[in-house]
A = this chain, B = another copy of it.
Amino acid sequence: MPDDRFKIAVIGAGRMGTVHARNAAAHPALELACVAETPDGSAATLADALQRPVAPFSAALADPAIAGVVIASATATHLDFALAALAAGKAVFCEKPLDLDLARLRAHAGVFADAPLVVGFNRRFDPHFRALKARLDAGEIGTLETLSLISHDPAAPPPGFIPTSGGLFRDFVIHDFDMARWLMGEEPVEVFAWASCLVDPAIAAAGDVDTARIVLKTASGRLCTISSSRRSGYGYDQRAEVYGSAGMARVDNPRSTTLEGWSEAGSAAARIAGGFAERYAAAYAAEMDHFAAVLAGEAAPAVGHAANERALALAEAAGRSAQSGAPVMVESV
């Protein structure tokens, strides 16, 4: 019964830290060695629940038995923790975004090139979107022409979240920018965005918007539309439709159950997922699968610094477009 699992440490014991720690603890190829200390004491709670020890992050980095680190702490700490972990020779899984500052991200491009870093753009690991991507790659809809992404959060975040969020485009639509790049197979070169504050005036008061429609254009003329909203009122709406020369493929929202009720008024189907934890549960588990494969040298990181930089560049361009009212060329690095 020799244990050949990869020992890993998790830092960050909030919502995403808990998700990753639980998945790591249950993963046959990973061993959750410890939960790293955080000032707020949440590490202890999480560690207790999983029957694992708490350790200082520095101790985890110094432990040669630990092969990898999962970073799910506050966004502002991601970049420094990732740099420290890589410097200590650990493989890193870092929640998205690696950083919200494009210049700072670019300043470290050299360090991150070829680094064993996976950034948690979770939608790429979702089985529904993966099946879509596989179909596109197999040429089943011919040449891709246009793409529509819908990403509506169930309910607006508390206004206190907005000021440190990075804003709608860098915090939320960044997922769609990553999806657009991934699915289109061609870089967007120009971005247009219109945005409004229709959901919550407190969001406008905090200097942000809550509703946007964005269009991306590639050099060959491919077009992608993104519909973004901080509040759907009907659940976590996450869909994609891809149009090609030989047809269309799309991913719809999974339902909580297949139960239907029928009455005089018609039929009622079950709700879709109420939030990201439910919608992307399988994706988060697949992220740990992928991280284990990276640790085992069986896979190269599927999404890292470069993808994060490109998505953030699109988010910044969209933000500038929404402010100026004109399309914005996407800066190449």
Interface residues of A (CB under 8 A from B): 1, 3, 5, 26, 28, 47-53, 127-128, 131-132, 135, 140-143, 145-146, 148, 150, 152, 192, 194, 196-199, 211-213, 215, 217, 221-225, 227, 229, 232-235, 237, 243-272, 325-327
**Are B127's CB and A257's CB within 8 A?**
yes
A225 to B264, CA, bound (A): 24
A264 to B268, CA, bound (A): 12
A132 to B47, CA, bound (A): 37
Contacts of A148 in B (CB 8 A): 148, 150, 227
Closest residue of B by beta carbon distance from A5: B51
A48 to B3, CA, bound (A): 9
A142 to B264, CA, bound (A): 13
Query: Within the complex, which residue of B28, B53, B146, B192 is in contact with A49, where a contact is CB–CB below 8 Å?
Result: B28
**Are A146's CB and B227's CB within 8 A?**
yes
**Are B227's CB and A259's CB within 8 A?**
no
A266 to B233, CA, bound (A): 10
Task: With both chains docked as a complex, state the minimum distance between the C-beta of A131 and any C-beta of chain B, in angstroms.
Answer: 4
10 more contacts with CB within 8 A, not counting A265-B268, A266-B268, are A1-B51, A131-B256, A135-B259, A145-B211, A146-B198, A229-B243, A232-B243, A247-B263, A250-B260, A269-B269
**Are B222's CB and A196's CB within 8 A?**
yes
A91 to B326, CA, bound (A): 45
A257 to B127, CA, bound (A): 7
Contacts of A260 in B (CB 8 A): 249-252
**Are A265's CB and B254's CB within 8 A?**
no
Contacts of A212 in B (CB 8 A): 223
A132 to B263, CA, bound (A): 15
Contacts of A49 in B (CB 8 A): 28
Contacts of A221 in B (CB 8 A): 196-198, 211
Task: With both chains docked as a complex, state the minimum distance between the C-beta of A97 and any C-beta of chain B, in angstroms.
Answer: 26
